[in-house]
Amino acid sequence: MYPFFPPEEEIFSVIQMISIAASVLSGFFDIILLPFRMLPPFCGLLFISLVSGLGMIFVFSRVSNQKKISRLRKRMGGEVLGILLHVSSPGTVIRFAWRLICSNTLYLAYILKPLLVIAVPFMLVWGQLDARYSTEGMKKDLPITVTVQYGNGLPARENLDIKTTGVELIPPVVMVDTLDEASFRMLPESDNLRSLEIGGTVIRVGRTGNWSGCRILRGFDSGGSLKRLFCPWIGRINRTEEGPGSGSYSLPDVRYGVLGGYWSWIAVFLVFSTLSAIVGARVFKVKI
Amino acid sequence: MKRREFLKLAALSPAALIALNTGCRRTASPAKRVIVLGIDGMDPFLLRSFIHEGVMPNAAILMSSGGLNRLGTSNPPQSPVAWSNFITGYGPNVHGIFDFIHRDPSSRLPYLSTSRVIGPDRIISISDWRLPLSGAKVELLRKGEPFWNRLTDEGIPVKLIKLPVDFPPDKGKAKILSGLGTPDMRGSQGSFTFFTDDARSITDVTSGGIIVPVRDYGDKCYVCPIRGPENSMRAGNPDMRVEAKVWVDRDADALRIDIQDESTVLAAGEWSRWLKIRFDAIPHISSVNAIGRFYVKEISPRLKLYLSPLNIDPMNPALPISEPADFSSNLARDLGSFYTQGFPEDTKALSRGILSDEEYLQQAWIVLDERLNLFHHELSNFKEGMFFFYFSSLDLNIHMFYRVLDHNSPLYTSTNPRFKSSIRELYMQMDRVIGDALSAKDANTEIVLLSDHGFAPFNRSFNLNTWLAEEGYANITSPHSRNQDMFAAIDWASTAAYGLGLNCLYINRSGREENGIIPPDQVPDLLLRLKRDLESITDPATGRRVIDNAYITSDIYPGPLPPFAPDMIIGYARGYRSSWETTLGSYPEEVITDNLDPWSGTHCVDPGVVPGTLLSTVPLSLPDPNLMDMGRSISSLFDVPVLPPGGRNIFSDTDD
């Protein structure tokens, strides 16, 4: 079947490499956000958003063909002017409009390459911010709900074996057989490392969000590879036969007070990174 | 004489020094800290009896300092009116609050008397979207200057927690968290939601909340739509909605509630913690946050799931509930979420049978526990100035459980005897609060405890509008509409007077009311005739008078009155009150009926029946203290050059 299905040892080495890359990336963001750890989370989010905007415009300037874009923009300006100057001549307007459509298509082609180059780091940054700024962290003495998915049928209630370290399990356990899910509450007892063991599968519960901008685990699964890199809020488990395949912790969303409204981290990131990219393009004379 | 001048003289005069040592008044040494406990509905008679029983030792200590005094309340003795008297030092003719609800004279439509929302001035409409160019505003309708402004002007710190009739909070230098009068997210005073698949529980009309039928289609899942506030950014202001999915596990008698990305597990008979619910006006850009608590009443065989009124989230308040604005979020950060609505105890859910007595009391104690946390947090941080803290628990719980105190209540025998101690327990809890305040007291601290009114039984309901119709003051032309609200049964062309609100009567005055028929020059005679007739009503079942006094408003509040002011304020006798039907303008068949609602205690009677309570570490120098005196008197305990103008200083008989 090879080359479509590489040997098992190669699969593991790829997973390991991606896991290492994910750890390095998360560590990198931890270091960048270190100065903001005592400040409100918005500060770190704003910083990353501004830097990302500048970074994207820098990459764009390096990867794109600035001369071609500049020429094309001038041409497009001329075409718009042509439409405005010949409003009374429908034939000319249509000709200029057609040229403008062609120029736009060409423009999209010019920026395709830089956008593709930017896409991967953009998604990595997106994942890191999602992991750090979209939900509140666990709090000591505040119960959170854990939902575990089995995928291949729920165990019988009496066979559901849950052991805890550093967290207290609060009954009851709600079993939803139509979803193959079991849910229960747990209470973090301390800020130390905590874990659950369900049917022999060990699940690292993760941090409590006790410093601003830290990575907050919102779930876990036994799958591997790229998810580690792009979804750093998901922890990895080694599934046993009796254990669940994946699960999630229910953590409340965070909103940020900006200009009288409550913005999601996505809105903050998109607005401020765009603003910073526009300002960066003006300052560094990048044609976009 | 000013304090400094007095001290100068005292220092120069040996005789004055002797006087200082022997018998000078305590007010000569101004307190640096004053703790004011505002306990809504603390009744002086009940308090005295509990003190005599020995279950309120701390109140007894406080009583030994300044005595247990009856505090004159407002007329009418309703909390918004009474607390406005306290805040401004004046009556309704100045602060403009005459009842819980007022009416617009031109339309006779009722509105909440304490605040109103004003929409944005300019809006851009793009298709279905409406984008406001300026923010919507909430206006406090209470007029008059709060007494503490004189303190903050002198640099004295003032903190007022859960202050009634102050939504939105007064802008100024005082730190305020608004209390009574703060609406829920739907703009009402508290509107619960009840999800059920029990057909017997489903009714069309339920004031105080909504009942939402839900169904399990075999997948053990109920989809429960949660109705949020109106979306002012969409044409037609549709309600914002969020769906909760409720997965039931009947074997475990438990369920899981999924709302947005949050899940919570609850067993039957369990209350949830506060859950955040986000309503998106414009996804990702504009949303409002609410908090709600679920209670699982029953899972099997039928789902009965209660959701509390959606409260304004103190962490991200959609409306201004504190001053400064971040005060509420700081408190929420320290203490977790808390009830922000003005009436946190869900009395409507008990009245409508959604919650049982037991379940209601559980909810009431959740409220009280939160309030106590807030009190202890703020008391421990209180260093200087005035600290006011308001407790609603006595008021709302005595409203619901007076039936256990009064043998004449129609519900006395049907109420489970185990709830008979509930009021005593609440008073004992208030005593522990007094004890905490006394523990915090030092030589520079004074403590003032006051309540806005006392309590009386509400055994018989008086249908004022029905009486007006029977006596020829109103004309019912649509008898089939008698039980509909808002005067649906009435012909205004032949109606002279109508009742609306809890104590208010209005003349259908020409030039003021729409289709009003009574010319202004005939109003005084009509009012005198009404007064005579009302004060002579007797209850055929008991032979007792129903109304102690019918007050002509212009007699008790001289001077120009606003157009929304009532023409007459009805002072009901002990045991009577206006019916719920009267408050919203309907005309039931009978004039006087038994009150079978658990809301069995009232203070909306004659003010002489329900005086408030005043306990203080400072002895009183003047008799007959009144709520209107309290702002000036409390201010006099500080070194301020000019006292607030309203009321008297009851702590000094030589008030300057």
Mean pLDDT of B622-647: 95
Check whether B615 has a pLDDT greater than 50.
yes
The predicted model gives A24-39 an average pLDDT of 90
A35, containing H or E segment: none
- Residue contact B264–A185, C-beta within 8 A: yes
For residues B201-221, average pLDDT: 84
Residue A216 sits in the same domain as residue A81: no
Interface mutation target, options A174, A186, A210, A263, chain B, most CBs of B under 10 Å? A174
Q: What long-range pairs does B198-203 form, CB within 8 A, spacing at least 24?
A: B198/B302, B198/B303, B198/B304, B201/B304, B201/B354
User: Is residue B170 scored above 70 in pLDDT?
Assistant: yes
Indicate the SS3 state at residue A97.
helix
Residues A130 and A148 in one domain: no
* B278/A255 touch (CB, cutoff 8 Å), yes or no: yes
The H or E element containing residue B52 is: helix B44-53
Same domain, residue pair B504 and B415: no
Contacts of A261 in chain B (CB under 8 A): 285-287
From B134, which residue of chain A is nearest by alpha-carbon distance?
Answer: A260
Q: Are A18 and A234 in contact (CB under 8 A)?
A: no
Same domain, A125 and A221: no
Across the strands, what pairs with B195? B212, B305
CB contact under 8 A, B264 and A250: yes
Average pLDDT, integer, range A273-281: 94
Cβ-defined contact of B284 to A264 (cutoff 8 Å): yes
Shortest CA distance from B285: residue in chain A? A263
- Write out the residue range of the structural domain in which residue A117 sits: 33-134+260-283
Same domain, B402 and B294: no
pLDDT score of A192: 64
Higher pLDDT: B493 or A8? It is B493
Residues 6+ apart with CB under 8 A from A194: A164, A165, A166, A167, A188, A204, A205, A206
Give A21's Cβ-side CA count (13 Å radius). Answer: 16
- Within 10 angstroms of residue A192's Cβ, the number of other Cβ atoms is 9
Q: Which residues of chain A are at the B interface, by a Cβ-Cβ cutoff of 8 Å?
A: 135, 142-143, 145, 147, 157, 170-179, 181, 183-185, 248, 250-253, 255, 257, 260-264, 266-267
CATH code of B402's domain = 3.40.720.10
> Which tens digit of pLDDT belongs to each residue from B241-282?
999 999 999 999 999 999 998 899 999 999 999 999 999 988
The minimum CA-CA distance between B344 and chain A, rounded to whole Å, is 23
Same domain for B507 and B536, yes or no, is yes
Q: For residue A151, is it within any domain?
A: yes
Band (A65; pLDDT cuts 50, 70, 90): confident
The CA-atom distances, in angstroms, between B308 and each of A209, B184, B229, B244, B523 are 29, 10, 14, 14, 45
Residue B52 lies in a domain: yes
Q: Is the pLDDT of residue B10 over 80?
A: no
Contacts of B278 in chain A (CB under 8 A): 253, 255
Nearest to B396 by CA among B353, B367, B356, B358: B367
* Segment B558-564 mean pLDDT: 91
The model's confidence at residue A215, banded by pLDDT at 50, 70 and 90, is confident
Q: Which of A183, A257, A260 sits opposite B263 (nearest CB)?
A: A183
| Chain B residues with CB-CB distance to A267 below 8 A | 284-285
For residues A197 and A265, state if they share a domain: no
- The pLDDT mean for chain B works out to 91
What pLDDT was estimated at residue A210? 65
Model pLDDT, residue A236 = 82
Task: Please determine, for residue B157, whether its predicted confidence score (pLDDT) is greater than 80.
Answer: yes
Q: Is residue B502 located within the same domain as residue B434?
A: no
- Asked whether residue B422 falls in the same domain as residue B464, the answer is no
Q: For residue A193, what pLDDT is reported?
A: 62
Check residue B371 and give its pLDDT: 97
Residue A82 lies in a domain: yes
Find the mean pLDDT for residues A88-92.
89
Q: At residue A1, does pLDDT exceed 50?
A: no
Is the pLDDT assigned to residue B6 strictly greater than 50? no
Task: Look at A263 and B273 and tell me if their CB atoms are within 8 Å.
Answer: no
Q: By CA distance, what is B268's nearest residue in A?
A: A172
What per-residue string of b and e applies to B346-364 under the rule 16 or more CB within 10 Å gives b?
bbbbbbbebbebebbbebb
Please count the CA atoms within 13 angstroms of the CA of B597 that sit on its side-chain side: 23
Interface test with A, best of B233, B249, B257 (most A CBs within 10 A): B249
Q: What is the 3-state secondary structure (H, E, C) of B556-606?
A: HCCCCCCCCCCCEEEEECCEEEECHHHHCCCCCCCCEEECCCCCCEECCCC
Nearest CA in chain A to B280: A262
CB distance B521 to B507 below 8 Å: no
Q: If you average pLDDT over residues A155-169, what whole number do you get?
A: 88
B335 located within any domain: no
Contact call for residues B375 and B433 (beta carbons, < 8 A): yes
Q: What would the pLDDT profile of B427-445 be if each residue is shown by its tens digit?
A: 999 999 999 999 999 999 9
When CB atoms are compared, the residue of A135, A175, A267 closest to B285 is A267
Residues B329-357 pLDDT 10s: 999 988 999 999 999 999 999 999 999 99
User: Which of A142, A145, A267 lies nearest to residue B263, judging by beta carbons?
Assistant: A145
* Contact criterion met (CB below 8 Å) for B337 and B291: yes
Q: Which of residues 388-407 of B touch A (CB under 8 A)?
A: none
Same domain, A196 and A269: no
Contact (CB<8Å) B247/A262: no
Q: Is B636 on the interface with A (CB under 8 A)?
A: no
Instruction: Give the chain B residue whose CA is nearest to the CA of A156.
Output: B251
Among B219, B254, B262, beta carbon nearest to A250? B262
Domain shared by B43 and B156, yes or no: yes
Question: Is the CB of residue B131 less than 8 Å away from at least one CB of chain A?
Answer: no
Quote the domain boundaries for residue B246.
Answer: 187-320
Share of chain B above pLDDT 70, in %: 94
pLDDT of residue A5: 57
Q: Is A17 within a domain?
A: no
> Based on the domain organization, do A111 and A166 belong to the same domain?
no
Cα B252 from chain centroid (whole Å): 40
Among A78-92, A246-260, B126-140, B464-478, which is the least confidently predicted range? B126-140
Domains held by chain A: number: 2
Contact check, Cβ <8 Å, A171/B256: no
Task: Clarify whether residues B313 and B356 are in a common domain.
Answer: no
pLDDT at A209 (0 to 100): 59
User: Are both A187 and A53 inside the same structural domain?
Assistant: no
pLDDT of residue A99: 93
> Which residues of chain A does B231 touch, with a Cβ-Cβ cutoff of 8 Å?
none
Check CB contact under 8 Å for A261 and B220.
no
B135 contacts in chain A (CB < 8 Å): 260
CB-based contact B287 A261, cutoff 8 Å:
yes
Both tokens of residue B462? Answer: 């008086």
Between the CA of residue A94 and those of A104, B532, B545, what are the distances in Å? 15, 88, 90
Residue B288 at interface with chain A, using a CB cutoff of 8 Å: yes
Residue of B nearest to A263 (CA): B285
Q: Are residues A114 and A87 in the same domain?
A: yes
Both B177 and B193 in one domain: the answer is no
The reply to whether residue B255 touches residue A174, judged by beta carbons under 8 angstroms, is: yes
| Predicted local confidence at residue A12, as pLDDT | 64
Backbone angles phi, psi at A278, to 5 degrees: -65, -45
pLDDT the model gives residue B16: 38
Residues B443 and B346 in one domain: yes
Which backbone phi and psi does B570 adopt, to 5 degrees?
-90, 120
More confident residue, B5 or B386: B386
Average pLDDT, chain A: 86
- Interface A–B counts its CB contacts (< 8 A) at 85
Tokens (6 digits) for B82: 């009474």
Which residue in chain B has the smallest CA separation from A170? B265
CA-to-CA separations, B428 to B55, B377, B421, in angstroms, rounded? 6, 20, 10
Number of folded domains in chain B?
A: 3
What is the pLDDT, as a whole number, of residue B15? 40
For residues A128 and A270, state if they share a domain: yes
Q: Are residues B506 and B563 in the same domain?
A: yes
Q: Examine the domain organization and report whether A277 and A241 are in the same domain.
A: no
In a domain, B133, yes or no: no
Highest mean pLDDT among A168-177, B15-24, B204-213: A168-177
C-alpha span between B87 and B91 (Å, rounded): 10
Domain identity same for B506 and B653: no
pLDDT at B182 over 50: yes
B133 contacts chain A (CB < 8 A): no
Measured between CA atoms, the residue of chain B closest to residue A175 is B249
The tens digit of pLDDT for each residue in B577-605 reads 999 999 989 999 999 999 999 999 999 99
Please tell me whether residues A87 and A154 are part of one structural domain: no
| Residue B264 contacts A, CB cutoff 8 Å | yes
Contacts of A257 in chain B (CB under 8 A): 316
Which of B290, B320, B350 is the C-terminal boundary of a domain? Answer: B320
pLDDT of residue B7: 42
3-state secondary structure of A257: strand
- Domain assignment present for residue B325? The answer is no
Inside any domain, residue A18: no
User: Chain A: nearest CA to B229, how far in angstroms?
Assistant: 16
Q: Are residues B164 and B55 in the same domain?
A: yes
Instruction: Read off the pLDDT band of B2 (50, 70, 90).
Output: very low
| Judgement on whether residues A164 and A187 belong to the same structural domain of the protein | yes
Contact B256 A183 (CB under 8 A): yes
**Chain A partners within 8 Å of B262 (Cβ):** 145, 250-253
